[in-house]
Amino acid sequence: MDIGELVRYLDEYLRIDEVPDYPNALNGLQVANSGSREVERLAVAVDATYASISEAADRGADLLIVHHGLFWDGNQPVVGRRYRRIRKLLEADLALYAVHLPLDIHPQVGNNVVLARELGIEVEGWFGEYRGAQLGVWGSLEIGREALAARLDEVLEGRVKLIPGGGERVRRVGVLTGAGGSMVGEAIATGLDALVTGEGAHHTYFDAIEDGLNLYYGGHYATETWGVRALAAHLSDHFGIPSEFIDQPTGL
């Protein structure tokens, strides 16, 4: 498949031009290939690290799609690790596409919707505003506080940190992957009993305890593998392009 055609599809499907994001996200095609190479194999990863780029190249991928792109540290010289990553992309003629918040909030393949689905939550609404966009999802799930922690341990394949600020039973559960601890106040204002996210600041412990919220920290990485995997499956189904997920867990 022509790289330009696939990028245009991704831009439209993910609403790259509509969803607000942090300036350094630079959503869309971040590094092109020669243009003469068709996309016959796709790789996806959470982060555009040297290891994920190298693995994608070794697997013969023509395009690597990531959630966290190359330019989070802003307008910096192409030296050190940035140079090594870009050099590897160019040597392998491997294109790189990044999608951050547009993937988090996508209604079909987004991190939040997919993780909520895995937990058995049917989405009923959204919460947590950023520049006019609602980032998190919430829905009903009648479950014990500890049972939800156990379910998360299984789904995320790791030990989840529970801050038990709310009741022993939960009914309204929010999901906001990644650094969603910053939205604890919004979760409480929305009337949620529990918030599932990746990580948060120290003070969120006391926010949750004092304001009656069960807060679950499952790790930034572990909560954000879902979107790129779902997007890869969608592209494979839609265009017949084989895809592979490159796993590089951080434990954070």
- Structural domain boundaries in the chain: 3-100, 111-223
Cα separation, 46 vs 72, in Å, equals: 14
Q: Which pLDDT tens digit goes with each residue over 176-185? A: 999 999 999 9
Could you tell me the fold of the domain covering 3-100? 3.40.1390
In the chain, the amino acid numbered 70 is L
* Average confidence score pLDDT of the chain: 97
Q: Within 13 A of 39's CA, how many CA atoms are on the CB side? A: 26
What gap in Å lies between CA 230 and CA 214, rounded to an integer? 28
181 DSSP assignment: G
**CB proximity list for 252: less than 8 A, separation 6 or greater:** 199, 219, 220, 221
Report pLDDT for 88.
Answer: 98
Rounded distance between C-alpha atoms, residue 87 and residue 52, angstroms: 14
Reported as a pLDDT band with limits 50, 70 and 90, residue 37 is confident
**Which DSSP state fits 121?**
P
pLDDT at 5 > cutoff 90: yes
pLDDT, residue 171, reads 97
Rounded mean pLDDT, 191-201: 98
> CA torsion angle for 185, 162, 116, 12 (degrees, to 10)?
60
Q: Which two tokens stand for residue 223?
A: 């909560």
Nearest partner of 137 among 150, 149, 124, 146, judged by Cα: 124
* Matching fold, domains 3-100 and 111-223: yes
CA 241 – CA 209 distance, rounded (Å): 47
d(C-alpha 70, C-alpha 88), whole Å: 13
Asked if residue 242 has pLDDT above 90, the reply is yes
Residue 166 has pLDDT above 90, yes or no: yes
pLDDT score for 9:
98
Provide the total of helices (H) and of strands (E) in the chain, helices listed first: 10, 11
pLDDT of the residue at 236: 97
High-pLDDT (> 90) share of the chain, %: 98
In the predicted structure, residue 107 carries a pLDDT above the cut 90: yes
* Domain topology for 111-223: 3.40.1390
Rounded to whole angstroms, how far apart are CA atoms 94 and 3? Answer: 11
Residue 36: is its pLDDT beyond 90?
Answer: no
- The Cα–Cα gap between 219 and 33 comes to 33
Identify the three-state secondary structure at position 184: helix
